[in-house]
Amino acid sequence: MISENMLKDVVVELLRKTVTVMPADVVNELKAAMQRETEDVPKMQLKAILDNLDLAEKTITPLCQDTGVTIFYVTLPRCLDLDVGKAITEGVRIATKEVPLRPNAVHPITRKNPGDNVGKGMPWVNYKVWDKDYIEITVMTKGAGSENMSQIAMLTPSQGIKGAKEFILNTVLRAGSNPCPPTILGVGIGGSSDIAAKLSKEALLRPIDKRNEDPEIAALETELKNALNELGIGVMGLGGKTTVLGVNIEYAYCHTASMPVAVNVQCWAARRGTAQIFPDGKVKYPTHER
Amino acid sequence: MQARLKTPIKEEDVRKLNVRDIVYLDGIIYTGRDEVHIHALEQAEHGEKPPVDFKGMALYHCGPIMKKVGEEWKLVAAGPTTSSRMNSLEPKFIEKFRPSAIIGKGGMSQPTIDAMSKFGAVYLAITGGAAVLAAKGITKVHGVHWFEFGMPEAIWVLEANNFGPLIVAIDSKGKSMFADIDSKVKGNIDKAKKMLKLA
């Protein structure tokens, strides 16, 4: 049976896994980047990145000190009589102490830090309902260095896809060495200003070795990745062949007068984790199965 | 060139370093990011001194994860934060407090490069996100100041032992590896635009 207490324990374990072990698709792409690289400086940076991943996993230590703010995506079966939000909040509080996570959440104006990553609107939980019988909880522990480089543009329909590409290119150029490249770009096209921004982050939940199901969007993802890797910003902005590890695009229909485009920049340390909690109490962590 | 330096670092030793040199550090390192810059400079305006003397020392743009074990703080993870957030305050910080080295990621803008030339300081780049590896080079936490700003924003007093490898990415002669990469990137934009059918 699923209880709030059990969910809280799952949230702690999910956070522990998420901040200490990277999903395989990102590790594979980092290793491929190392294989491609010919220059000494980016090679040295990639070696540090890969050595650090090994060390973090072996010692069960957060691989990056910036464990982000806790943004959750939860999908629930219909008619569930549980306060999932409360369990998540408690889980975050405990994980901050036990994993530990860095206490990052502060009041936006006073900058006061309560020390437990819990405050108004934090953890932030996005809810959906589905027809399946299990609960799915996904968390992204994303650092601010890359989040701070994210951008949104309300383009006009006449600027079209060309305008979108130009905006994505300019976002990468403006970010330069700052977001811990090689980055992953989550792109949200369409919807409205808020929906585009939301889609751009949700795009980052998809593994980078999976292309969008729509063949046209998939081709656009590949085109952008190849072009952006010609820029030479490279690893940590110190040059080299890999500036982006992947480009993931999600879209939604939008108003005939609008063309919203949002880019969410994700550092190489793209930590995401998912837990599935089944009615019999079994728990699976599909992002962290080896 | 590869160098192993102990803080406080003499200006003449700083001046010997060139971009692309590899440095390993020993001795005391202070962490300091947004709030430390804001408050140290505010205090200086009122004629007050910050709780530590940065002169000749290494300032690390870092908000570590610390864990209290008994009465002692234990370092868990300590990679660099994005240095460019301190761009507007760093030239003044260097002028006032005269650190010899700033450790961070992503580089800093021209006014900081100029301040480093003028006052004899270098920018040492460390791999962003590689926080467990970085923590291996810190052997002790001596203490903390300004903890009221929160764990990431406090001044942590760290003992470094062979902390590195760090790359001299900005030297005290006005050279910056990031500026070099920037001009290369500018030259590559046309090719990227062609591939995107924008040019």
DSSP letter string, A107-124: -TTT----SSS-BTTBSE
Residue pair A68/A142 in contact (Cβ under 8 Å)? The answer is: yes
Task: For an interface test with A, give the residue of B147, B185, B191 to mutate (most A CBs within 10 A).
Answer: B185
The b-or-e profile of A218-245 (16+ CB within 10 A means b, else e) is eebbeebbebbbbbbbbbbbbbbbbbbb
Distance CA A145, CA A272 (A): 16
Q: Catalytic residue positions of B?
A: 37
What are the residue boundaries of the structural domains of chain A, listed by start? 4-21+63-143+270-288, 145-266
Structure-block tokens of residue A222:
């590949």
Structure-block tokens of residue A56:
């973090």
Is A176 an 8 Å CB contact of chain B? yes
Residues with Cβ within 8 Å of residue B7, at least 6 apart in sequence: B25, B26, B27, B28, B29, B56, B57, B58, B100, B101, B160
Residues 185-224, chain A: which have Cβ within 8 Å of B? 223-224
Residue pair A259/A155 in contact (Cβ under 8 Å)? The answer is: yes
Task: For an interface test with A, give the residue of B37, B62, B65 to mutate (most A CBs within 10 A).
Answer: B65
Q: Which residues of B touch A52 (CB under 8 A)?
A: 127, 129-133
- Candidates B150, B191, B196; nearest CB to A113: B150
Is A233 an 8 Å CB contact of chain B? yes
- For residue B24, give how far its alpha carbon lies from the nearest alpha carbon of chain A (Å): 15
Residue of A nearest to B181 (CA): A239
Distance CA B3, CA A230 (A): 33
Is B111 an 8 Å CB contact of chain A? no
- What type of residue is A182? P
CATH code (residue B21) = 3.20.130.10
Residue pair A185/A264 in contact (Cβ under 8 Å)? The answer is: yes
Whether residue A179 has a cis bond before it, omega within 30° of 0: no
**Whole-number CA gyration radius for chain A:** 19
Distance CA B98, CA A56 (A): 35
- Spell out where A90-224 has E strands: 124-130, 135-142, 151-155, 183-190
Q: How many CA atoms lie within 13 A of A196 on its CB side?
A: 22
Distance CA A133, CA B174 (A): 62
Residue pair B105/A122 in contact (Cβ under 8 Å)? The answer is: no
Is A80 an 8 Å CB contact of chain B? no
Distance CA A268, CA A288 (A): 17
- Residue A84 to residues A73, A87, A128, A137, B49, Cα–Cα distance (Å): 11, 5, 12, 10, 49
Task: For an interface test with B, give the residue of A111, A142, A238, A267 to mutate (most B CBs within 10 A).
Answer: A238
Q: A4-21+63-143+270-288, what's its fold?
A: 60s Ribosomal Protein L30; Chain: A; (3.30.1330)
- For residue B89, give how far its alpha carbon lies from the nearest alpha carbon of chain A (Å): 17
- For residue B191, give how far its alpha carbon lies from the nearest alpha carbon of chain A (Å): 7
Give the residues across from B68 on adjacent strands.
B73
**Three-class SS state of A228:** helix
Q: How confident is the model at residue B167 (pLDDT cuts 50, 70, 90)?
A: very high
What's the confidence (pLDDT) of residue B61?
98
Is A267 an 8 Å CB contact of chain B? yes
Contact B127 A233 (CB under 8 A): no
Residue pair A273/B160 in contact (Cβ under 8 Å)? The answer is: no
Residue pair A264/A200 in contact (Cβ under 8 Å)? The answer is: yes
Looking at the structure of chain B, the number of domains it has is 1
Residues 46-105, chain B: which have Cβ within 8 Å of A? 62-65, 67, 76-79, 81-82, 84-85, 105
Domain of residue B108, residue span: 2-198
The chain-wide mean pLDDT, for chain B, equals: 97
- What type of residue is B193? K
pLDDT in tens, chain A (290 residues): 799 999 999 999 999 999 999 999 999 999 999 999 999 999 999 999 999 999 999 999 999 999 999 999 999 999 888 999 999 999 999 999 999 999 999 999 999 999 999 999 999 999 999 999 999 999 999 999 999 999 999 999 999 999 999 999 999 999 999 999 999 999 999 999 999 999 999 999 999 999 999 999 999 999 999 999 999 999 999 999 999 999 999 999 999 999 999 999 999 999 999 999 999 999 999 999 97
- For residue A171, give how far its alpha carbon lies from the nearest alpha carbon of chain B (Å): 13
Q: Render pLDDT for B30-61 as a digit per residue (tens, 0 to 9).
A: 999 999 999 999 999 999 999 999 999 999 99
Tokens 């450790």 belong to B103
Distance CA B178, CA B123 (A): 11
**Can you tell me the ipTM of this complex?**
0.95
